[in-house]
């Protein structure tokens, strides 16, 4: 079983390319945001707990997200692996993921990182906010905060996975969606 992590800053194109990667390599795309919404909609114990926390304005704790990911690993069949999108975001989450996967007799197969410069992150998030009417992402201050949070909390994962020899980077800018997709698929194919 393969366990890939789709990585990169906000707006890098992870969501844009995840479906193509999952389809070509028979992987289950596991988006933590979609998992949360599905668990809440299904009224599972994890979903009920997540909804209570979110309704109170709190972040969903790591152990709830980890439980949801384990549920997917245990329940999804007929795939050659999983493509994690949005998890892990911190080194403690990566360490827990390593334990979850090791308990299955496996290890993380590779990190597929789509990298774009901060200026492009800012431009893409602002454009997406305008197109999708996402007021939460519309202000420069909010976008700058998201970029800073990525650098402070998520970017340290690069060195974590480089140390394990599992980090692989592809340039997500410049290039059309099709050009970047070709780069991403070629990278996964090489793993």
Residue tagged active-site, from 2, 37, 51, 128: 128
In angstroms and rounded to an integer, the radius of gyration of the C-alpha atoms of the chain is 17
DSSP 3-state of 152: helix
Catalytically annotated residue among 24, 104, 127, 134: 134
134 catalytic residue (yes or no): yes
- Side-chain half-sphere of 166: how many Cα atoms within 13 Å? 17
Q: Is 124 a catalytic residue?
A: no
Catalytic residue among 28, 49, 89, 183: 89
Residue 141 CA to residue 122 CA, distance in Å, equals 10
Per DSSP, the three-state class of 76 is coil
Alpha carbon distance 38, 104 (integer Å): 24
Give yes or no: 89 in active site: yes
Of 146, 162, 166, 183, catalytic: 146
The answer to whether 3 and 107 have CB atoms below 8 angstroms apart is yes
Picking from 145, 36, 35, 157, the residue whose alpha carbon sits closest to that of residue 90 is 157
**Which residue out of 14, 124, 166, 181 is catalytically annotated?**
14
- Catalytic amino acids? 14, 89, 128, 134, 146
């Amino acid at each position: 079983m393969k366990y890939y992590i789709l990585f990169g800053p906000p707006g890098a194109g992870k969501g844009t390319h995840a479906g193509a990667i999952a389809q070509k390599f028979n992987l289950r795309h596991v988006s933590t945001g979609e998992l949360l919404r599905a668990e809440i909609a299904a009224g599972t114990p994890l979903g009920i707990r997540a909804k209570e926390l979110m309704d109170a304005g709190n972040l969903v704790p790591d152990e709830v997200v980890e439980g949801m990911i384990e549920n997917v690993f245990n329940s999804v069949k007929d795939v050659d692996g999983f493509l994690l999108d949005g998890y892990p975001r911190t080194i403690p989450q990566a360490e827990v993921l390593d334990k979850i996967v090791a308990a299955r007799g496996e290890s993380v197969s590779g990190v597929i990182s789509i990298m774009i410069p901060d200026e492009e992150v800012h431009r893409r998030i602002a454009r997406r906010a305008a197109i999708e009417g996402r007021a939460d992402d519309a202000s420069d201050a909010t976008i700058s905060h998201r970029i800073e949070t990525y650098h402070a909390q998520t970017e340290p994962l690069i060195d974590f996975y480089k140390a394990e020899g599992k980090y692989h980077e592809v340039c997500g800018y410049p290039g059309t969606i099709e050009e970047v997709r070709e780069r991403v698929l070629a990278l996964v194919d090489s793993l």
